[in-house]
Amino acid sequence: MDASAQGAKATYEAGRAASEALARSQESKIRAVGLARLLVAFLGVGVLVGIVWAHVPSWAWGVLAGLGVAFVALVMTHSRAFAAKDRAMEALRFHKRGLARLDGTWRAFPTTGADRASADHAFADDLDLFGPSSLFQLLDAAETPFGREALARALLVGARHGTDAVRASWGADLVARQEAVRELGPRVKWRESLAVEGGVLRSEAPDPAPFLLWAEGKSPLEVPAVVVLLARLLPFVALAVWLGARPLGLPKPAWVGVVALELALSFRYREATAATIGAVSAHAGSFARYGSLFAAAVSEERSAPRLAKLLEPLASAEVGVVREMVALERVVGFVEARRNEVFRLFIGPVLMWDLNFAVLLERWRRRSGARVRGWFEALGELEAFASLAGFAFDRPDHSWPEPMPEAQLRAEGLGHPLIDAARRVGNDLALPRAGCALVVTGSNMSGKSTLLRAIGVNTVLAQAGAPVCARSFALGQVTLATSMRVRDSLDEGVSHFYAELQKLKRVVDLASGPPPLLFLLDEILHGTNSRERIIGARSVIQGLVARGALGAVSTHDLGIADLADALPGAVRNVHFEEQVKDDGTMTFDYRLRDGTVQSSNALRLMRAIGLDVPLDGPVAQPLPVDPAS
């Protein structure tokens, strides 16, 4: 482990030890309370048997009542102990995941984002953003689908097309994202609380979509103001008439007329009332279950403008999510009283219970319904920032990208963030302006493809607002597109070469900009013969450079490297090479060097895996043909 990550390791180890101790103490408490419950239950049964079958003093009833109270208190204590243990276990999981990210065992994390992988995206598949051993799997610390969706969007945002105003604000937006991630990085306890509440919810995470449909829809309940007023007043009138019939000299059945009016009004709006109450009763719980998670999200103020903006709709004193959830839960709690049959059939109609609380639910929907989706989206953004902040906290050796006013990419010590630090090799490179390219040559397994992916993945991290795997990194606004991993299709009749052409065409089309294109092409046109490959590749690279794109191309064809002579100052050659020991074995230092490679290792690699080929000398002659065959 890199020495700079020792502080993060110490934090996680301390958190793990504290969480394990808390979990153990709660487990001991659970056993003790469980034993006490059993003892109180036995004593209660014994006292009850004594009351029923023996002549015990009357104070035995008081003992029985006391034991009942004690049992209820123990049940509540037991429940709180279980909840505390669950939270301790989720905190333990949070710190274990942090340690796993540091020691390289994060590839066992269950969430890989594989459902978001798409071979049709401009760069996601080539750069391993999703799926096993992916960037998403390393970063993801979200516990809700909203957080995972927000994190995926942050990684896929690479092509930042938009209006001139949007493009002009790119640098400011990047700085704002960085400020948010920087602020949340050291806030380990806050990120832990968010993970804990989300983790407790995870096992039974309800889908709030049905509730959103009600909240954002149009209610069938349209009640005139005068009816709302009558619904509030008539229950009191009915009660007053019933109690005051004799003192006021009213006929005894006078209150029946008031109740009849109540029933008539309730019947008039019965269908709309039932629809509103049914929709909310069935789905409000899916919203209310997120209450503790929202409360954790707003538990601390934030100074970063991007975070403050996210928290504003959640923590508003007037219609903040916590306040509105409390208000909704209160109304729904009263609505649930109707589940009692006696109340629903006899008391509820006199109080006009359903109509009154349906009106309150509709009032809540008009006040806050349109905000519910925004609350969940803000929660998801906070979880995404927390994921990126965890990455920043774990890797203090990574640098914060510097946004540049013009399209360019400059890096010192650039490495691939998915490679463990002990094996990672950093390289310096520069694409100083729009309309320039690197042609990367080198022997097999020397690091060409890894370099291109390191450029791409770090560009994705930079645009998401995260630190990058480099000593320094400067980036202007670019549109990222790649052609690396090519997949043919037998079902669609698409050959490997034609599939590559389709990806290459997509890259070229994106060069129309703005902003300028950052292209990464690995083994360009390797599916055809060398003559046509060189002609086609040179033409593609020349066209991209002429259109103001910048990028890197890897190849084995030195004929493509001749572009550096044809386009001096626009195309630069760099290479990797292997080192051959005296005993013939090869090693790689993965260091990027200027110029073109002067050696190759394909035949040596073939011999290394057991294929009998000569390392030099003439090509073998065809085998003789038997004339009799």
Cα dist from 7 to 1, 17, 240, 335, whole Å = 11, 15, 71, 52
Domains of the chain (ranges, CATH numbers) = 123-223+269-394 (1.10.1420), 395-608 (3.40.50.300)
Q: Which residues of 291-301 are buried (b: 16+ CB within 10 A; e: fewer)?
A: bbbbebbbeee
Q: Residue 480, Cα to own-chain centre: how many angstroms?
A: 22
Q: Give per-residue pLDDT as tens, 556-584.
A: 888 888 898 889 989 999 999 877 666 66
Average pLDDT over residues 64-82: 91
d(C-alpha 315, C-alpha 601), whole Å:
62
Containing 492, the helix (H) or strand (E) segment is none
Strand 550-554 relative to strand 586-588: parallel, antiparallel, unpaired? unpaired
Q: Give per-residue pLDDT as tens, 126-146.
A: 999 999 999 999 999 999 999
Residue 109 is which amino acid? F
d(C-alpha 438, C-alpha 428), whole Å:
12
Quick check: helix, strand or coil at residue 208?
coil
Nearest to 103 by CA among 9, 11, 7: 9
**Is the Cβ–Cβ distance between 459 and 123 less than 8 Å?**
no
Confidence of residue 36 (pLDDT cuts 50, 70, 90): very high
Residue 316 is which amino acid? S
**More confident of the two residues 429 and 223:** 429
**Is the Cβ–Cβ distance between 490 and 188 less than 8 Å?**
no
Q: Is the dihedral of CA 337, 338, 341, 343 positive or negative?
A: positive
**Is the Cβ–Cβ distance between 37 and 71 less than 8 Å?**
yes
Average pLDDT over residues 300-319: 85
Strand 479-483 relative to strand 586-588: parallel, antiparallel, unpaired? unpaired
Q: What are the backbone angles phi and psi of residue 518, rounded to the nearest 5°?
A: -105, 110
Q: What are the backbone angles phi and psi of residue 433, rounded to the nearest 5°?
A: -165, 170
Cis ω before 253 (30° cut-off from 0): no
Nearest to 223 by CA among 370, 358, 367: 358
**More confident of the two residues 269 and 251:** 269
Report the Cα–Cα distance between both ends of the chain, in Å, rounded.
65
Quick check: helix, strand or coil at residue 392?
helix
Question: How many other C-beta atoms are found inside a 10 Å radius of the C-beta of residue 338?
Answer: 17
Q: Give per-residue pLDDT as tens, 591-628.
A: 999 998 776 555 454 455 555 556 565 554 554 555 55
